[in-house]
Each structure stands twice: as C-alpha cells, then as structure tokens.
Amino acid sequence: MKITIHLFFLLVTFLSFSQNSEKEGKSEMNFYGEQFSIVEESVELTKGQIISSCPNKGCWVKVTSGSEELFVTFKNYAFFVPKNGIAGKEIIIKGAVEADTISVPQLKHYALDAGKTKEEISKIKNPQITKSIVADGVAIIN
C-alpha cells in the first residue's frame, strides 16, 4: 500500500512538472477567422508586425512584412480583430499577397475609419497601388 501511495505522488509530481515545462517558451496566439496550422505547406502564410488597425470595427490592419507594407482585410467581413492594443504585435496571416489598386472612395472610407480629418480626406485624389491580402484567418501573437 505504501508503495502505491508513493508511486501515485511521484506520478502526480512528474506530471505537474511536465505540464509546466510544456508551457514555457510558447507564445499565446489568438485566432480570428478561420483557424490554421502554422506548419501547413499548402497554405500561403505571411508573418509581420501590426502597424495599426481599424479603430471603428477592427475590419482591417496595416502590417509590415520584411520591407513591405501590406493592407489586410478579412474575407467577407466574417471576422474582425481588436480595435485597440494590437499595434506592434506579431501577426500571421493566411491568404495570398496580391497587388491591388485601392479606389479613391475606398481610400476615403479607410481614412474616415482611421479618424482622419475632413481636410486630410479631401486631399485624397488618386487611387493607390498597394500590396494587400484578403485574409481567411489571422493569428495575433501576444
């Protein structure tokens, strides 16, 4: 009986330490939209750092990836990211990077979302060619 009790406590102690060591070194990820595995080879994933997000709904983010700036929207507006507190965080985006022309009305809409003044918005006269992603899902690393 004593041996069984000692083995039980030894097992509980071992499991307690093994669970703690698994958590060390891992980053917490919050998924928005379609969840995905970051090791899937058939999926186009882009990693970057968040510059800003839509302060109204969280319906877009601006991201730097390498030396490029990307504008990320979310497929069918099916999900949103937090409006505040994500600038500077790392993000993994599931979706294809494409060259895109953003129309003047759409640029004005994004500027309005970003809280730009009427004067700043009225200065938008030309469409803008950017690299963008319509994301199926994103993971923000805390």
Give the residue extent of every domain in the chain: 27-141
The answer to whether 50 and 91 are in contact (CB under 8 A) is: yes
How high is the pLDDT of residue 64?
Answer: 96
Q: When comparing pLDDT for 22 and 132, which is higher?
A: 132
Burial class (CB in 10 A: 0-12, 13-18, 19+), 59: middle
| Cα 108 to Cα 60: distance, rounded to the nearest angstrom | 14
Which two three-digit tokens encode residue 125?
């006269």
Is 2.40.50 the CATH number for 27-141?
Answer: yes
pTM, to two decimals: 0.65
Q: What is the arithmetic mean of pLDDT over 65-90?
A: 94
The answer to whether 86 and 50 are in contact (CB under 8 A) is: yes
| Residue pLDDT, tens place only, 32-75 | 777 766 555 546 889 999 999 999 999 999 999 988 899 999 99
Q: Assign 3-class secondary structure to 81-105.
A: CCCCCCCCCEEEEECCEEEEEECHH
The answer to whether 125 and 94 are in contact (CB under 8 A) is: no
Most confident of 13-17, 40-44, 48-52, 128-132: 48-52
How high is the pLDDT of residue 100?
Answer: 85
> Does the pLDDT value for residue 80 go beyond 70?
yes
- Amino acid at residue number 18: S
| Residue whose token pair is 């004593």 | 2
| Residue whose token pair is 């102690």 | 13
| Cα 8 to Cα 38: distance, rounded to the nearest angstrom | 37
> Does the pLDDT value for residue 22 go beyond 80?
no
> Does the pLDDT value for residue 28 go beyond 70?
yes
The answer to whether 19 and 132 are in contact (CB under 8 A) is: no
